[in-house]
Structure 1
Amino acid sequence: MAGGWLVACQHCATLHARTPLEPGAMATCRRCGYPLYRQSTLPLDGWIALVLTALAVFAIANIFPIIELDIAGMTVRASLPNALWLTWQQDHRLLSIMTGMFAFWLPLTQLLVTLWALLAIRSRRLPADFRYGMRLLHHTLPWSMVPVLMLAIMVAMVKFAGLARVSLEPAMWAFAVLTFLLTGLSRLTAHRLWQYAEDAGLVATATPETIAHEGTFVASCEACSLVQGVSQDGIAQSCYRCGARLHLRKPNPTSRVWALVIAASILYVPANLLPVMRVRTLTSDTMHTILGGVIELWRLGSWDLAVIVFVASVVVPLTKLLALAILMLGGRWRGALVQRQRTRLYELIEFIGQWSMLDVFVVILLTAIANFPGISQVIAGPGAASFGMVVILTMLATMSYDPRRGWDRRPGARSNTIQSDATAAAAIDTYSEASYKRQV
C-alpha cells in the first residue's frame, strides 16, 4: 500500500493519509474511531478461492433439499426454491419476491460481482464497466441475508421437531457453511476492492495536490471512497472515478429519515396485530402472530430460540425506530464525546438492521416444510408482508441518515472544507497518520 493517498472517514468526514499496515491490522479514524480500512491477511488469490468455494456451496444449498420430514408415511423435502414457489402460489407474491431477493438473488449477485472484480484486479486489466459493477456491489451488500436465513432454518426445524421425523439434508449443512463464508466475504466491500485496485495502480487516487484548490470543497464518494474536490454543494456532480453522484452530505436527510421512520412505525402495528401465518391441520385451523410464535417456541422447550426470535422480531425493530428518533432529535447536541456515542449508536443500528427479517424467512420456510396435503399446511399471513416492509423501511432510513452532519463544527459548516493549499495541507497534517490496531 502506498502512503500519501487520502481517505475520508465515512462517519465524520475527517481526512487521513493512507499509511501501510501490517497484515490483519485495521486503521481507525482518530476523530470518531470508525474503521477506515483494513490490511487483509489473505492475498488476492486467497479471496478468489474463498469466493469460488462460496459459489459452489451456494449451488449445493439451493439445489438440494434443506430438511426431510416424515409424518404418517408421507415425506416432504423442503428447499428454498420450493418454499418461494409455494408462497407465490398462495398469492403472497410480495413476500416471495422479498425473500427471493434477500436470500437468493442478491447473495448470488454479491458473489458473482466480487469474483469478477477480483479476477479483473488480478489480471491488472480493469474492464470499462468495472465502476458499474462496484456500484452494484456497494448497493447489494447490505441486503444479502443468508445468515438470517440460516437462523430461520433452525427456528423452523424446532417448530416441527416434535411433530415429525426430521432428517437433515445436504442444503442444511451447505447453508451453515455458506453463512460463515459470506460473513467473511462481507468485509470484501466495494471500497476494499477499489483499494486493491489503487494498490495495483489501476485506478486514480486522491492526494493533497489533486484536491487542494482555492474555494473548493472536498467530498468522499460513497460508492468508491475517492476523495475529490467539488465546486459547490447542491450542484449536480459525479465522481470522476466511478460515476456515482457526489454530495458533501446526503441530501435532505431529515425529511427522508423521518418519512421512512413514520412509515415503518405505522406498518409496525399491523405487522404485530395481524397473523404472520395460518396453520391448518386435521384438527385445527389457527392463526399465529409474531408474539404467538415466540410463545409457541417457549412452550416447546426451545427457550433459547424463543429469546432469539423475540429479540430479532420485537426488540430489534423497536430499537432501530427509537435509535433513529434519538439520532434525529439529538442533532443539536455537540461535543466530541457526544458525537462518538452517536456514532456507536449508528453503527449498532447498521449492524442489527437485517436481523429483523428472521420471522419473514421462518414463515416462508414453513410453507414448504409443513406442506403435507390433507394433514398440515402453513399459509403466509398479511402480517408477514407488513413486517418485511418494516424491515426494509428501517434499513432505508438508516442508509438515509448522515452521521457526518453531527460532526460539523457548527450548523452549516463542513469539516472537510478546503480554502487553499496551505489550509488543505494543515487539515491533512492534523490527522495525517491513521491510528491502527491489531485485530484479535
Structure 2
Amino acid sequence: MTADRQPLIECEHCASIYRRHQLEPGETANCARCGAILWRYSGLTLSNWLALAIAALIIFGVANAYPVAAMSVQGMTQQASLLDAISITWRQGHWVVAVMTGMAGFALPLLQLTVLLWVLGPLSQGREPAGFRVAMRLLGFLRPWCMIPVFLLGVLVAVVKLAGMAAVSPGIGLGAFGILTILLTMLGRLSPHVVWRYAESVGVVPVHVPQAAPDQILTGCHVCGQVQALAREADEEAEHHCVRCDALVHYRKPDHLARTWALLLAAVVFYIPANVLPVMKVSSVLGDSAHTILGGVVELWEMGSWDIALIVFIASVAVPLTKLLALILLLLTEQWRSTTNLRPRTRLYQMVEFIGQWSMLDVFVVILLAALADFQGLMEISAGAGAAAFGVVVILTMLSAMSFDLRRSWDLEGQSEIESAPVEGRRQPAPGAGQEMG
C-alpha cells in the first residue's frame, strides 16, 4: 500500500494525525507530540479473540452460579455469590447501591461479552455483523463501566474483614472471578477502534483516506476512529456525521468546560456525605455500630491487616481525592490557557481515566459483607447512606473525566497537521495476548 493510501489515525489526547502502518512483533506506536500510545502490534487473529470471548462468557456463568465465599458462625453457614449480595442489598431497602453494583458487576459485563461475541463471530468468518455500527457504539459506552476486577478485590477485602469475626472460606466463584478478571483484561484491548481495524483488515468495512483541502481540518470519529475532513471555518460545535459509521462527530467536545465543572462540583458535594455518613451498619447481639470509610481503614489496621488497610485507603480515600484535585488542576490550567507541561498533564489525565472505577471498591465490600453476615437475630450487616453517596461520587467523577477534552489544551499550541513521519517506536517484550492490532 502506498504511503498516501495508508489509513490515518488521530491521537485521542492531542489530535495529531498519523498514517497507520504495520508494526513488527513487540513494537508500539507512540504519538510524537504527547507520547500517548496510538496502537500496538498484536499477533492474535479474530478467531483467537472469539475463543477468548467464549471462554470469558463460560467463566462468567460459573463465577455467578457459585458462591465467592462462605461464613460460619455458631454452627450456621452463610454462602454468598455476587447475585446474592445484590439481592440482599435490595431486600434491605438500599436500592441505589443494589442497582449500581448490579449494573457494574453483572449486567454491563454480561452485555459487553454479548456484544463482543455478536461482532467477533461474523468477523472471524469474513462477514460484517448485523448492526455492527450500533454494536460498536454500545461497546464504547460499556467498557468504562464494567468493574469485575474491582469486585474481585472487594471479595478479598471482605474476607479479610470477616476473618477476625468468624470462619470464612473462599468459594468456587472466587477462583472463577479471578480467571474472569484476567480474560476481561485481555479483552479490554478490543476497543471499538481496534475492532474497526480488524473489520478493515478482513475487508468488510471501507477505509477512507481523506485529503484535507486548505480550508479543511482533519478529525477522528470517536466511535470508529475514521479520520475525516471538516470545514475549517465551520463552528467547531456544529454537528457532522461520520462518513463510515454515521455517528455524530464534533471537531471538539462542545461546552466541555461547563459540563466537566458541573459534574465535578456535583461530585464534590456528594463527597462530603460519602465520608461523613456511615457506609456500613452492623447489628448483632452485642449492639449496633456504624462505620465510615476511614473507620473501616482504621479497623483493618488494628486487626493487623495493614496491607489490606492500605489498599482500601488508596482505593477509597486517596483515589477519589486524587481524581477531584487532578480534574480541578486540568480545568484551571486550560481556563488559564496554559501551554506549559502539556505532556505531564496528558499523563495526569490518563491516570485519572485509569483509576476511575477503582473507587467503587468499598461499595462492593459492603454488599458482600451484607450477604455473608446475614444471620437473622445474630448478626446483620447492611449498607449505609454513605455507600450510596460514595457510589454517586465514583459515577460523577468518571463522567466528569469523560466530558473533559484534553485536545483543547494542545490546540493552544497551534492547529494539528498531518504528520507523515514515522511515529516513535519503542521495543517491548514479546507481545502478549491482549495487545492491539497495528
TM norm structure 2: 0.93
Kept in 2: contact 1:29–1:435 (CA 8 A): yes
Match of residue 300 from structure 1: 303
Match of residue 216 from structure 2: 216
Match of residue 228 from structure 2: 228
Q: Does 1:271 align with 2:274?
A: yes
Q: How does 1:295-374 map to 2 (within 5 A)?
A: 295-331=298-334, 332=336, 334-335=338-339, 338-374=341-377
Kept in 2: contact 1:223–1:244 (CA 8 A): yes
Kept in 2: contact 1:267–1:386 (CA 8 A): yes
Task: For 1:77 and 1:102, locate their aligned partners in 2 and report how far apart those are by CA, in whole Å.
Answer: 21
Cα deviation, residue 141, structure 1: 0.3
3-state SS in 1 of match to 2:382: strand
Q: How does 1:86-125 map to 2 (within 5 A)?
A: 86-125=88-127
Task: For 2:306 and 2:342, locate their aligned partners in 1 and report how far apart those are by CA, in whole Å.
Answer: 38
Cα deviation, residue 318, structure 1: 0.6
3-state SS in 2 of match to 1:167: strand
Out of 131-140 and 161-170, give the one that drifted further. 161-170
Match of residue 433 from structure 1: 422
User: Aligned letter for 1:33?
Assistant: G
Q: Does 1:13 align with 2:53?
A: no
Out of 212-221 and 256-265, give the one that drifted further. 212-221
Q: Does 1:204 align with 2:203?
A: no
Cα deviation, residue 235, structure 1: 2.2
Q: How does 1:237-276 map to 2 (within 5 A)?
A: 237-276=240-279
User: Aligned letter for 2:423?
Assistant: A
CA displacement 1:102-160 (0-9 Å, x = unmatched)? 01111111111112221121121113410100110011001110000001000100111
Kept in 2: contact 1:19–1:434 (CA 8 A): no
Structure 2 unaligned runs (5+)?
A: 430-438
Task: For 2:208 and 2:347, locate their aligned partners in 1 and report how far apart those are by CA, in whole Å.
Answer: 28
CA displacement 1:320-360 (0-9 Å, x = unmatched)? 0000010011114544x611111000011011100000001
Q: Does 1:144 align with 2:133?
A: no
3-state SS in 2 of match to 1:365: helix
Cα deviation, residue 234, structure 1: 2.5
Kept in 2: contact 1:2–1:199 (CA 8 A): no
User: Aligned letter for 1:374?
Assistant: G
User: Aligned letter for 1:247?
Assistant: H
User: Aligned letter for 2:310?
Assistant: V
CA displacement 1:67-91 (0-9 Å, x = unmatched)? 1111111111111111111111111
Structure 1 unaligned runs (5+)?
A: 416-426
Cα deviation, residue 271, structure 1: 0.4
Kept in 2: contact 1:2–1:18 (CA 8 A): no
Kept in 2: contact 1:2–1:20 (CA 8 A): no
Cα deviation, residue 244, structure 1: 1.7
4+ residue runs over 3 A deviation: 332-335
Q: CA RMSD in A?
A: 1.5
Kept in 1: contact 2:123–2:129 (CA 8 A): no
Q: Does 1:66 align with 2:74?
A: no
Out of 115-124 and 81-90, give the one that drifted further. 115-124
Task: For 2:183 and 2:171, locate their aligned partners in 1 and report how far apart those are by CA, in whole Å.
Answer: 19
User: Aligned letter for 2:135?
Assistant: G
Cα deviation, residue 239, structure 1: 1.2
User: Aligned letter for 2:224?
Assistant: C
Task: For 1:22 and 1:2, locate their aligned partners in 2 and report how far apart those are by CA, in whole Å.
Answer: 18
Match of residue 421 from structure 1: none
User: Aligned letter for 2:244?
Assistant: R
Of all paired residues, the percent bearing the same amino acid is 49
Task: For 2:211 and 2:238, locate their aligned partners in 1 and report how far apart those are by CA, in whole Å.
Answer: 18
CA displacement 1:147-195 (0-9 Å, x = unmatched)? 0000100010011112222222110100111111111111111111011
Matched pairs, number: 423
Q: 1:142 to 1:23 in 2, by over 3 A?
A: same
3-state SS in 2 of match to 1:330: helix
3-state SS in 1 of match to 2:33: coil
